Structure 1
Amino acid sequence: METIFTYLKNQFIFQLDTLFQVENPMEKPVLNQLDSNGFIDEFIIENNLTETDILILGLALVPHMKPDFLSSIIAEYLPNGGELPEFGGIKTKNHRGILPTGETAQFLIAGNDLEERISFYNYLHNSSFLYQKRIIKLESVPNGEPKLSGLLILEDEYIEKFITGKILKPQLSSNFPAQLIETQLDWEDLVLNSNTLNQIKEIETWLKFNEILLHEWNMKTKIKPGFRVMFYGAPGTGKTLTASLLGKYTQRDVYRIDLSMVISKYIGETEKNLSSLFDKAADKDWILFFDEADAVFGKRTNVRDAHDKYANQEVSYLLQRIENHPGLVILASNFKANIDAAFTRRFQSIIEFEVPTYNERLQLWKNNLPQGIKIAEDVNLNELSKKYDITGANIVNIIQYACLRTLEDKNESINLNHLLQGIKKEYAKEGKMM
């Protein structure tokens, strides 16, 4: 990291010496050999960054490590204070130094040379690996102000990566309405019919081979980016577990979107919230899981008033963003008919999660009962599986209830009465009678 910061400082001195026409100016600096063991150096080597991108990356990172870096450089040339508009940079409420803007990066690379400044502007927006991959971005500025006057921002995940070597996973917040979901279970724990499992394997195949298909087989001009899937079926039939397992076995993070934080009664806010989410996820190789997706992906209605008009615009906007998203998007719903047909036509796969059959229920009972704990002789799993038409989630809840009652009563085995009480509770939750 020190090599990068030294290179960055020398480049600033080179540009400032030129601007102030000092005697014996510094010659244009050369980047020294990088340390392949450093976190930022590894990233630069792995992604074969250009020298311009290396300077931009160093500039975006330096305030997090050396708060006085930019102010101390400027002080050498303006010891009595003053303004240097070409240098850019801003001061904020909390940070006492100078934070870099796009203008600071432009001066760093191009100095005061007009042609070089134009060239940098084009490079940043059209060629920069960092900008294209959204590793760095420019903060939006009010209308009428120069675009490059926006704060130069390094994504939080990469700040953590370059300092500690670990990627900081985003946390659920108003700025990121999604939560990482994980599972300790395996494919063997997912009890589904063979047709559903085969369709799920098709998704796993896409996750494994999509990059080869697009780039090595040169299909990127013929196939739209991303993969869109719909899971539908009764609650508790394995939709969320399936999404989690897809992530686990393809080494991808799965984020479940919190729709309560996305949907807004204010015009344009829902689109804004989703736009921010999709922008952040665009190059992260995440799986986006929209549970109970009817809330935002429901059918469009006939326009009777302004509310209907904007609701339909929301659906149209979502359709566009999902269709252009390069990763896997899973929409889950209890009923297929609730989702707008414009979405379903664009899904690569629509998978039904059926209520488990007798054989599947029997397997779920066997899989989820605790190992090494006795089951009372009056418990007949075959009878329970035949008599009670319930889902896997129901069975897990029933077993949890029965186990807790067994511990509370200090019994040595799980008895039928506790299981039946658990079944009765599950039926009551769904408004059914035993």
Structure 2
Amino acid sequence: METENNITTNSTVNALNSNAVTLTKELNWFVEVINARLRDFFSDEILSATADTPSVAAKTESSNTLDHALTNAPDLTGDHSIYSDFVAYYQLTTDERLLLMLALVPYVQPHLLDAFFAINKPLGRGYTEFGGVKGNRHGGFIPTIETALFLLSGNDLGNRFKLYQLFEPDHVFFAHNILQIDPAGNNEPFYCSTLTITEEYIDFFTTGKLRKPQFSPDFPAKRLTTGMEWSDLVVDEFTMEQLDEIRVWLQYGQTLHTDWGMAKKIKPGFKALFHGSPGTGKTLTAMLLGKLFKLDVYRIDLSMVVSKYIGETEKNLEKVFKKAENKGWILFFDEADALFGKRTGISDANDKYANQEIAYLLQRLEDYPGLVILASNMRNNVDEAFTRRLNAIIHFQKPQMRERLRIWDSAFSAQSNPPDKNNMQQIAHQHELSGGSIMNVVQYASLMALNRGDKKISVDDITLGIKKELKKEGKTM
């Protein structure tokens, strides 16, 4: 085992070293382009100030140098580093590679952008053409879209206009949440928006791994995991048949859209409503679907999403959808009534806005290419506008006697000694408990046995645990 770990560690180190070598070549080329662009820019200044023949010659030479630099990107063919594989996968152009480097440089070698701090002496401030801003704590130059346009096109308006397509929302850099734009606001030009690389891809290019987003106000969702397996799920046959449709979609949905050419005819993604009493397996099923297909499952924390302030709910949700885009995550909205619940008729401005909120949610759900699961205790609590667009509505009923016995049989620890089969059959027959309630009873009974210093789970402990569960529901035995 130690040898295998050492091999894995050495392999990881070698991969990162290889990636560092590739990035060094790319950064050297990036610096060559910056220097050539600045020489060309300042030769223009000299030419406009003196208009003499030597300056024209110097201008021609600097332009040739710039053209050479822009087309002299490192050949990454056969270089299977993390970065070069990324470039090959997305088939990036030289402009796209330079744009990616511009966004990455502040995080790996920020001093490479210090040249853009040059002062325009007649005006006593920086050059407008260079764009960029200075951060609150970061002492270096933070590029804006204007910086990118200057680097790639200089003062060539024709080329500048062609480059605008690099900053469209459907460009792979933004559609796949690789780069992000922070709009300037206050009616300032869009192109003075800052241009940054997302945290996941900073990690990817430096450590070789995509960071899992942490739960925070900027990402109000928690990753769900389980130690259980698909075979541990206990639901009735009809529910399992419906769940099988989701399983088949997760396995073949991409093939249906691409290989079978159905992308133009059917909407992307799969949307399902899980409804039923608490403890019937809705959350567990979502986790097991993710585990079965090695997909991350994120439960959206609606307490941090839903806001009374107009527009805030959409902004909070957009943070989640933006992060999740093209990652294959399963998004799980527990107690979805709070977000997707029925709305009343329009009687004031707030009601009117509520309908606008529904329109946003509908559009966002339809656009999401992965699996979205809405969970609710009652089907009728979810607005009809959403249910009409769902691919599946699945009822999780309380387990019947046969299902309850299966849950009881698999619930106890292998280290314990539960009551015999006859006792457990009687308990399963007499008490109509959900799977979640059964697990609460098992935990209670197991703790009581441990407290006695015993491995034997007694019927009395189980009975007392059942009484506690029923009392929580306002019932008695």
The reply to whether TM is greater than 0.5 is yes
The 5-angstrom pairing of residues 146-185 of structure 1 reads 146-185=189-228
Residue in 1 aligned with 2:382?
A: 339
Query: Aligned equivalents of 1:378 and 1:18: distance in 2?
Result: 86
Aligned residue number for residue 393 of structure 1: 436
2:176 — aligned with what? 133
Shift of 1:372: 3.6
Question: How far did 1:273 drift?
Answer: 1.3
Counterpart check, 1:11 vs 2:38: no
Q: Is residue 226 of structure 1 aligned with residue 226 of structure 2?
A: no
1:200 corresponds to 2:222: no
When residues 304 and 415 of structure 1 are mapped into structure 2, their CA distance, relative to the original with a 3 A threshold, is same
The answer to whether the 8 Å contact 1:178/1:258 transfers is yes
Distance in 1 (CA, whole Å) between partners of 2:267 and 2:185 is 34
Q: How far is the alpha carbon of 1:126 from its aligned partner?
A: 7.1
CA distance in 2, matches of 1:203, 1:130: 30
Structure-2 separation of matches of 1:378 and 1:17: 86
* Amino acid in structure 1 at the alignment position of 2:460: N
Secondary structure (helix, strand or coil) at the match of 1:68 reads helix
Measured in 1, the distance between the counterparts of 2:447 and 2:164 equals 64
Q: Equivalents in 1 of 2:350, 2:192: separation in Å? A: 37
Query: Which residue is equivalent to 1:407?
Result: 450
Distance in 1, Cα, partners of 2:183 & 2:142: 15
Contact 2:119 2:127 in 1 (8 A): no
Is contact 1:378-1:415 (8 Å) kept?
no
Compared with structure 1, are the counterparts of its residues 127 and 433 closer, same or farther at alpha carbon in structure 2 (3 Å cutoff)?
A: closer
1:419 is matched with 462
User: Which structure has greater helix proportion?
Assistant: 2
The Cα shift of 1:37 comes to 4.4
State how far apart, in whole Å, the 2-side matches of 1:373 and 1:277 are.
42
Alignment partner, residue 325 of structure 1: 368
Q: TM-score, normalised by structure 1?
A: 0.95
What's the offset of the Cα at 1:357?
A: 0.5
Q: Assess, with a 3 A threshold, how the Cα gap between structure 1 residues 122 and 313 changes in structure 2: closer, same or farther.
A: closer
Q: Following the alignment from structure 1 to structure 2, what is the Cα–Cα distance between the partners of residues 37 and 163?
A: 15
Q: Distance in 2 between matches of 1:155 and 1:237?
A: 38
Change (3 A) 1:412 1:323: closer
Partner of 1:370: 413
Taking a change above 3 Å as real, the CA distance of residues 31 and 77 of structure 1, as seen in their structure-2 partners, is: farther
Matches within 5 A, 1:54-73: 54-72=97-115
Provide the C-alpha distance between the structure 2 equivalents of 1:223 and 1:376, rounded to a whole number of angstroms.
53
Offset of 1:268 from its aligned partner?
1.8
Is the contact made by 1:302 and 1:308 (CA closer than 8 Å) also made in structure 2? yes
> What's 1:50 paired with?
93
Offset of 1:330 from its aligned partner?
0.5
How many aligned positions are there? 433
Q: CA RMSD in A?
A: 2.1
Q: Quick check: 1:32 aligned with 2:54?
A: no
Q: How many angstroms apart in 2 are the aligned matches of 1:82 and 1:188? A: 67
Aligned amino acid, residue 382 of structure 1: Q
Pair 1:251–1:36, CA change in 2 (3 A): farther
Distance 2:243 2:159 in 1: 52
CA distance in structure 2 between the partners assigned to 1:37 and 1:336 by the alignment: 51
Could you tell me how far apart the structure 2 residues matched to 1:412 and 1:19 are?
A: 81
- Matched-pair contact (CA < 8 Å) for 1:75–1:81: no
For residue 130 of structure 2, the aligned residue among 79, 87, 91 is: 87
Give the distance between the partners of 1:36 and 1:3, measured in 2 at CA: 12
Structure 1 residue 134 displacement after superposition = 2.6
Following superposition, the deviation at residue 208 of structure 1 comes to 1.7
Gaps of at least 5 residues in structure 2 are 1-22, 44-54
Larger mean Cα displacement after TM superposition, 12-21 or 146-155: 12-21
Instruction: Please report how far the alpha carbon of residue 379 of structure 1 lies from its aligned counterpart in structure 2 after TM superposition.
Output: 7.3
Q: What is the SS of the residue equivalent to 1:141?
A: coil
Partner Cα separation in structure 2 for residue 259 and residue 347 of structure 1: 20
Contact 2:221/2:298 (8 A) holds in 1:
yes
The CA deviation at 1:147 is 0.7
Q: Counterpart of 1:246?
A: 289
Task: Give percent identity, aligned residues only.
Answer: 44
